[in-house]
């Protein structure tokens, strides 16, 4: 009865949001439309919380959705500031309809995904652990080896930014280490995710997870905040997931209290950090002001949806597709693309970032929009970033926005750290979770290339081979679920 009562609140709020949407569209009042979007977000967020453990990833996604998309306009609207000064009402109406449609479609996708989930299709965790125990140590060794190269690549960028500026990272930075170093560095995330899918015990997992967190925090010194934020959220939801797989909880009540206290402090720090990375003096204006300022500075991705509408008819036809940009890029510049290009005598040009070629031929909406809005600043290294809702609308209109967000919601509902019986498929699920945390300001299909990467599947083959060798050398798995030595 209590659960029904809680869900009734979310459903009632959703009905109110729909009424406000219809009213706002009828009288063409963007303030009413903004209210409808915020009420809808609140209702969907309540649903994610009421469903509890089932929707941990969905809740994290919604936090990121608000931060990167609704943050600027939403906070200014709620605090009585001017929020619609840049664009005319027609463009703002379009943006809010897109956001409302996205949220509602995501909710429906998650709802359908949850309804189709059946307990008898869940993986037997204990059996899963036992079957994959033979890979655990090999993966851990590979993680420790590749983490050295990953650290070297991150430190290279840190030293570069400290010697120049954050903007120069996008303008003039180029790799100086041997090519194999970067390839091995790329393996590090894969090895960490593979180790996570093994469901190691808490004591064994502690050091690798701490190292992963430290590298994420270290990336802050390159001026990039998103990596540290996504790494932190990923680790939190993984530890919450492990509460459901282990008898001893990974996240206790005291940990939740610490997170609740630390989160606002971290947000204020990141708000001040934004000034520092831009070369300005961080001017502390009060805890609450800095807290809200974080969301108003991070929520600029919604402007990309607006700019796409403004310049929709001016988007260059030389860009084949924005929505399928990551796939096109992988085809042209990936391992298989080079082979196919060689067979058909095709030369695929890879354009440098923040160049006219990138804007006109790179299938990157963020590059194209920035070039159209502020060409000189784009060429000097500034970028607005891309936006998945804007990409869907650019290629397929409102139908594309609705359909993709429904699929996105359905996929999010399936994002469990152990969803498949095969560990390597779960590795790609973790990649998807990480990608979905940043999709609000990224490519719509940014999560797909990892599934079809020749390099990733090569790593899978290597680990499977090592597991087979280990099992052959040391024997089977005993009753305690460990490999006989």
* φ and ψ at residue 463, rounded to 5 degrees: -65, -40
Count CB neighbours of 45 within 10 A: 20
CA atoms within 13 A on the CB side of 183: 10
Instruction: Give the three-class secondary structure for 463.
Output: helix
Q: What is the DSSP string of 434-446?
A: HHHHHGGGS-TTT
What letter does residue 315 receive in the DSSP assignment? S
Domain ranges within the chain, ordered by starting residue: 2-119, 131-299+411-442
Q: Where are the alpha helices (DSSP H) in 323-453?
A: 325-333, 335-343, 356-361, 365-373, 375-379, 388-413, 423-438, 449-452
Compute the residue count for the chain. 485
Q: Rounded to whole angstroms, how far apart are CA atoms 298 and 162?
A: 23
Q: CB–CB of 326/317 below 8 Å?
A: no
Per the confidence metrics, is the pTM higher than 0.85?
A: yes
Q: Which residues contact 289 (CB under 8 A, 6 or more apart)?
A: none
Q: CB–CB of 61/91 below 8 Å?
A: no
| Maximum separation of any 2 CA atoms in the chain, in Å | 75
What letter does residue 62 receive in the DSSP assignment? H
Q: What is the DSSP string of 107-134?
A: HHHHHHHHHH--GGGS--HHHHHHHHHH
- The three-point CA angle 203-205-206 to 5° equals 70
Residue identified by tokens 């998309």 is 69
Enter the tokens of residue 131. 């079957």
Instruction: Give the three-class secondary structure for 483.
Output: strand
- In tens digits, the chain (485 residues) has pLDDT values of 344 556 788 888 899 999 999 999 999 999 999 999 999 999 999 989 887 777 899 999 999 999 999 988 999 999 988 888 789 999 999 999 999 999 999 999 999 988 866 544 568 888 998 888 889 989 999 999 999 999 999 999 888 887 777 777 777 777 788 889 999 999 999 999 999 999 999 999 999 999 999 999 998 888 788 888 899 999 999 999 998 888 888 988 888 888 888 888 888 887 777 666 655 556 777 788 888 888 887 777 899 999 999 999 999 999 889 999 888 888 877 766 666 655 545 566 778 888 899 899 989 999 999 999 999 888 887 888 899 999 999 999 999 999 999 999 999 999 989 989 999 999 999 999 999 999 998 999 999 988 888 888 999 999 998 888 876 665 554 434 444 44
Q: Rounded to whole angstroms, how far apart are CA atoms 183 and 144?
A: 15
pLDDT of res. 265: 87
Residue identified by tokens 């903007």 is 167
Q: What is the pLDDT of residues 204-240, one digit of tens each?
A: 999 999 999 999 999 888 878 888 889 999 999 999 9
Q: What is the pLDDT of residues 25-68, one digit of tens each?
A: 999 999 999 999 999 999 999 989 887 777 899 999 999 999 99
CA end-to-end span of the chain:
53
Q: What is the dihedral of CA 298, 304, 310, 316, to 10 degrees?
A: 150
């Amino acid at each position: 009865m209590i659960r029904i009562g809680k869900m009734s609140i979310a459903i009632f709020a959703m009905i109110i949001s729909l009424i406000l949407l219809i009213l706002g569209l009828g009288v063409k009042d963007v303030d009413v439309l903004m209210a409808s979007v915020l009420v809808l977000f609140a209702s969907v967020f309540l649903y994610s919380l009421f469903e509890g453990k089932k929707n941990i990833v969905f809740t994290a996604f919604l936090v990121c959705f608000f931060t990167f998309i609704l943050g600027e306009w939403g906070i200014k609207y709620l605090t009585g500031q001017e929020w619609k000064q840049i664009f005319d009402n027609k463009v703002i109406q379009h943006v809010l309809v897109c956001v409302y449609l996205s949220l509602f479609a995501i909710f429906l996708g998650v709802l359908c995904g949850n309804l189709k989930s059946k307990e008898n299709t869940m993986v037997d965790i204990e059996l899963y652990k036992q079957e994959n125990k033979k890979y655990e140590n090999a993966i851990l060794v590979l993680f420790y080896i590749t983490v050295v190269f990953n650290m070297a690549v991150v430190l290279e960028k840190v030293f570069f930014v400290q010697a120049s500026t954050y903007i120069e990272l996008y303008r003039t930075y180029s790799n100086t280490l041997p090519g194999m170093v970067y390839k091995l560095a790329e393996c590090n995330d894969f090895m960490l995710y593979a180790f996570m899918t093994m469901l190691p015990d808490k004591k064994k997992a502690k050091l690798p997870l701490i190292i992963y967190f430290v590298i994420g925090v270290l990336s802050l010194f390159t001026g990039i905040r998103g990596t540290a934020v996504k790494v932190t959220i990923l680790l939190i939801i993984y530890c919450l997931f492990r509460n459901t797989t282990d008898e001893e909880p990974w996240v206790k009540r005291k940990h939740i209290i610490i997170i609740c206290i630390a989160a606002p402090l971290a947000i204020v720090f990141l708000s001040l950090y934004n000034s520092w990375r831009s070369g300005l003096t961080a001017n502390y204006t009060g805890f609450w002001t800095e807290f809200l300022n974080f969301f108003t500075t991070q929520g600029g991705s919604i402007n990309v949806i607006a700019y796409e509408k403004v310049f929709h008819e001016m988007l260059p036809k030389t860009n084949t597709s924005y929505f399928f940009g990551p796939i096109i890029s992988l085809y042209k510049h990936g391992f298989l693309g080079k082979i196919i290009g060689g067979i058909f005598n095709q030369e695929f040009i890879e354009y440098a970032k923040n160049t006219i070629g990138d804007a006109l031929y790179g299938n990157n909406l963020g590059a194209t929009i920035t070039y159209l809005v502020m060409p000189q600043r784009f060429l000097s290294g500034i970028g607005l970033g891309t936006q998945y809702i804007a990409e869907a609308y650019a290629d397929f209109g409102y139908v594309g926005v609705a359909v993709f967000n429904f699929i996105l919601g359905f996929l999010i509902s399936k994002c469990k750290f152990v969803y498949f019986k095969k560990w390597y498929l779960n590795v790609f699920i973790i990649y998807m979770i990480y990608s979905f945390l940043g999709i609000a300001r990224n490519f719509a299909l940014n999560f797909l290339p990892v599934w079809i990467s020749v390099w990733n599947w090569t790593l899978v083959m290597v680990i499977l081979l090592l597991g087979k060798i280990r099992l052959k050398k040391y024997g089977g798995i005993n009753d305690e679920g460990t490999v006989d030595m």
